């Protein structure tokens, strides 16, 4: 099947061709016709399946008939709202809107926390038909009287499960209450939990259902390997793997912000260019780190789980779990950063004795045992006992605890306003 067969406008087809895409992905094949029909949609698709283009392309087509080149803000009212959990994802979605809508005179803008609100206010007052927003900052603008949704036609909840995990449910309820009752609502989620189904039943009207990726299935093109190692030798093993195998563009996950900073500094000392990205970094710092990583100026990007569902990096070859996540599903999201757009990827996990239970939980979720490969010279010492895993502010690179292990779902650290819920959580087209 081709994009032409989906009935897209010539302007959209031209933009898609310029991005080098010829064949739509399964989510695009199923979702685009339904969105063009005006149906509400509940779609299960993980990051990397092409879901962003799956809603961006038909959204642009639906709004195109009223597009105009007038300079008057009144001629550019908010007609579509796209809600995302993080500012990285908000920027990437709006970039897709601009990319695929370059030949259609529609304005778009994005609003998120962690940056000065004034430029966003100015952009809103200038007019934009498509608004991409994180929930917290959207409510800030609403409180200041900067938003008017009277002409809104479409609302899209992207990565709805992630927004619920981050505690955005009440914010979402407040936002939906601001919108016209007669609207089209699209909900995209990596999983269809009971909470997601309950949310859909409240906000969607007789929705069509699309399910692309099997629940909690890791990317099939990702080669997954576990390297057993002592906690104190993880950094040395990571540096060894990167240098001996000449790995480039490696995304490394840690559990905590402190651990990410420390590991990045240590890699730099090892002669491996690295930058850390997490919630305590300013927006300019995060943008620069991501840009440098994409263009190859930085070899390693060390990230907390805030990046697991927000980063959009085409052809990312390597993901390393320097520390396993406490929540097994987060492993799926982490390794989903690679093996995208039909390319093969590799996910390496450095696992110490403290993490054996976490590994078993992940393998149970995957319904298979991951292959183990002990690297020569880095075999773990069987006499070293397991220690509780650190999940708080002092978390370091090896996972050593300074206090009792926590039973509750850990946090990668507090995230800036606009990326996190105001209430606690209860517990590309292919590449974009």
DSSP track, 145-210: T----TT--EEEETTHHHHHHTT-HHHHHHHHHHS-SS-EEEEEES---HHHHHHHHHH-SS-EEE
For residue 320, what are the β-bridge partners? 252, 348
Which tokens go with 260?
Answer: 């990410």
Q: How high is the pLDDT of residue 290?
A: 84
Compute the distance between CA of residue 177 and CA of residue 190 in angstroms, rounded to an integer: 24
Q: How high is the pLDDT of residue 284?
A: 79
Q: Which residue has the tokens 């009207």?
A: 205
Domains and CATH numbers, the chain: 4-211 (3.40.50.300), 222-366 (3.40.50.300)
Contact assessment for residue 228 and residue 351, using Cβ atoms and an 8 Å cutoff: yes
Q: How high is the pLDDT of residue 280?
A: 77
Compute the distance between CA of residue 58 and CA of residue 28 in angstroms, rounded to an integer: 10
208-211, strands of its sheet edge to edge: 108-111, 130-133, 80-83, 154-157, 184-189, 41-44, 208-211
pTM score > 0.75 for this model? no
Spell out, as residue ranges, where the chain has pLDDT lower than 70: 47-48, 213-220, 306-312, 314, 339-343, 390-432
Q: How high is the pLDDT of residue 48?
A: 67
R_g of the chain, CA atoms, integer Å: 22
What sign does the CA torsion over 139, 199, 95, 67 have?
negative
Burial call 239-254: b when 16+ CB within 10 Å, e when fewer:
bbbbeeeebebbbbbb
Strand positions, DSSP E, 293-332 = 300-303, 318-321
Q: How high is the pLDDT of residue 412?
A: 32
Which tokens go with 327?
Answer: 């929540």
| DSSP secondary structure string for all residues of 221-270 | TEEEEEEE--GGGHHHHHHHHHHHTT--SEEEE-SSHHHHHHHHHHHHHT
Q: Which residue has the tokens 């299960």?
A: 44
- Which 8-state DSSP code applies to residue 420? B
Q: What angle do CA 331, 334, 335 make, to 5 degrees?
A: 90
């Amino acid at each position: 099947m081709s994009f032409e067969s989906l009935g897209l406008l010539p302007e959209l087809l031209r933009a898609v061709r310029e991005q080098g895409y010829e064949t739509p992905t399964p989510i695009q094949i199923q979702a685009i016709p339904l969105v063009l029909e005006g149906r509400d949609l509940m779609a299960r698709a993980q990051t990397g399946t092409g879901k962003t283009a799956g809603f961006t392309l038909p959204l642009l087509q639906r709004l195109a008939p009223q597009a105009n080149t007038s300079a008057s803000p009144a001629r550019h009212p908010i007609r579509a709202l796209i809600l995302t959990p993080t500012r990285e994802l908000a920027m990437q979605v709006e970039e897709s809107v601009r990319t695929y809508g370059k030949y259609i005179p529609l304005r778009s803008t994005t609003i998120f926390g962690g940056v000065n609100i004034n430029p966003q206010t100015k952009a809103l007052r200038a007019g934009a038909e498509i608004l991409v927003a994180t929930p917290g900052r959207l409510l800030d603008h609403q409180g200041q009287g900067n938003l008017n949704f009277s002409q809104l036609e479409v609302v899209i909840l992207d990565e709805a499960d992630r927004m619920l995990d981050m505690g955005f449910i009440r914010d979402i309820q407040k936002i939906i209450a601001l919108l016209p009752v007669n609207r089209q609502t699209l909900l995209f989620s990596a999983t269809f939990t009971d909470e997601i189904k309950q949310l859909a039943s409240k906000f969607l009207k007789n929705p069509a259902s699309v399910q692309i990726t099997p629940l909690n299935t890791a990317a099939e093109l990702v080669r997954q390997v576990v390297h057993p190692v002592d906690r104190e030798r993880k950094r040395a093993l990571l540096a060894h793997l990167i240098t001996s195998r000449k790995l480039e563009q490696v995304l490394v996950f840690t559990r905590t912000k402190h651990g990410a900073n420390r590991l990045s500094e240590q890699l730099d000392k090892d002669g491996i260019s690295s930058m850390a990205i997490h919630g305590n970094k300013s927006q300019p710092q995060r943008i620069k780190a991501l840009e440098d990583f994409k263009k190859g100026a930085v070899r390693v990007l060390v990230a907390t789980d805030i990046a697991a569902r927000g980063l959009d990096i085409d052809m990312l070859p390597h993901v390393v779990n320097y520390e396993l996540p406490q929540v097994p599903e987060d492993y799926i999201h982490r390794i989903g950063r690679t093996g995208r757009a039909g390319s093969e990827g590799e996910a390496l996990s450095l696992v110490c004795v403290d993490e054996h239970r976490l590994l078993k939980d992940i393998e149970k979720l995957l319904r298979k045992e991951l292959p183990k490969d002990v690297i020569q010279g880095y075999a773990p010492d069987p006499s070293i006992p397991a220690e509780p895993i650190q999940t708080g502010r002092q978390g370091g690179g090896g996972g050593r605890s300074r206090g009792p292990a926590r039973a509750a779902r850990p946090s990668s650290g507090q995230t800036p306003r606009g990326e996190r819920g105001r209430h606690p959580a209860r517990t590309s087209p292919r590449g974009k």
